[in-house]
């Protein structure tokens, strides 16, 4: 075999290696893009429960998307969300949305979400509730509208937006998607057993001794 042929084979091998490397880099890029969408899911048990998710933006980002796709035509509760920025020991509200099904494919009419053209570096908290448990003010420490109510299991609660003809929105499953954010942490919330331990005695008192609760709201287990 001539030197020319050997050189041609070597050049061809180098090209194949380059193509393989390029393909590998493309695959890694695709995986990184897909991994940028973080999905969290769990179950909400009571009408005044608040799911809290923290995330960090190490640097400013663009086209940040946050959305739910768990309403599923009324199988599960109608969610609402608020976005908060850490400010000292508290969080300041940036936005609050009840319904927005335009963020991503797969959302239902009563799903919620945000499309943020820009988001500055910082520490953020997202709260997810059952509508219409809106925030009481511009600070997270001010709580939510249903905080003072005895927790009602979602399966027994008629949500304000439910369809009385279908008796829907009784499911507690939620799914939250975050695209373009940094590290994410689901803030621990009271366990179902703990909530029941607080709720059942209150329900018993309200039936057996209604005068004990008259004139004041029951204390919220979320405070």
Higher pLDDT: 79 or 204? It is 79
pLDDT digits over 104-115, tens only? 999 999 999 999
- Judged against a pLDDT cut of 70, whether residue 78 lies above it is answered with yes
CA nearest neighbour of 116 among 145, 69, 81: 81
Three-class DSSP category at 159: coil
> What confidence score (pLDDT) does residue 219 get?
36
> What confidence score (pLDDT) does residue 182 get?
87
CA distance 58 to 56: 6
Least trusted range by pLDDT, from 8-17, 106-115, 126-135: 8-17
| End-to-end Cα spacing for the chain | 84
**For the whole prediction, is pTM greater than 0.85?**
no
Name the DSSP letter for residue 219.
P
Q: What is the CATH number of domain 35-212?
A: 2.60.120.1050
> What confidence score (pLDDT) does residue 105 get?
97
Domain boundaries, the chain: 35-212
Residues with Cβ within 8 Å of 53's Cβ and at least 6 positions away in sequence, in order, are 40, 125, 126, 127, 128, 176, 178, 184, 185, 186, 187
- Judged against a pLDDT cut of 80, whether residue 83 lies above it is answered with yes
CA distance 48 to 99: 18
pLDDT digits over 22-50, tens only? 333 333 222 233 348 999 999 999 999 99
Q: Are strands 51-57 and 122-130 parallel, antiparallel or unpaired?
A: antiparallel
pLDDT digits over 182-222, tens only? 889 999 655 444 444 444 444 444 444 443 323 323 333 32
């Amino acid at each position: 075999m001539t030197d020319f042929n050997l050189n041609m084979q070597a050049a061809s091998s180098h090209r194949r290696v380059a193509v393989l490397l390029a393909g590998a880099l493309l695959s890694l890029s695709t995986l990184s893009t897909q991994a940028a969408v973080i999905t969290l899911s769990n179950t909400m048990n009571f009408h005044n429960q608040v799911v809290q998710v923290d995330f960090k933006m190490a640097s400013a980002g663009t086209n940040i998307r946050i959305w739910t796709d768990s309403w599923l035509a009324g199988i599960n509760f109608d969610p609402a969300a608020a976005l908060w920025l850490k400010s000292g020991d508290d969080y300041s509200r940036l936005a609050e949305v009840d319904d927005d099904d335009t963020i991503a494919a797969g959302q239902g009419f009563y799903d919620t979400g945000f499309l943020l053209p820009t988001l500055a570096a910082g520490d953020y908290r997202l709260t997810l509730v059952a509508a219409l448990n809106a925030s009481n003010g511009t600070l997270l420490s001010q709580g939510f509208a249903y905080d003072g109510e005895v927790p009602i299991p979602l399966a027994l609660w008629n949500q304000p937006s439910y369809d009385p003809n279908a008796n829907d929105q009784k499911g507690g499953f939620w799914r939250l998607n975050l695209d373009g954010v940094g590290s994410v942490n689901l803030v621990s919330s009271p366990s179902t057993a703990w909530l029941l331990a607080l709720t059942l005695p209150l329900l018993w008192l309200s039936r057996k001794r209604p005068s004990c609760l008259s004139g004041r709201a029951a204390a919220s287990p979320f405070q």
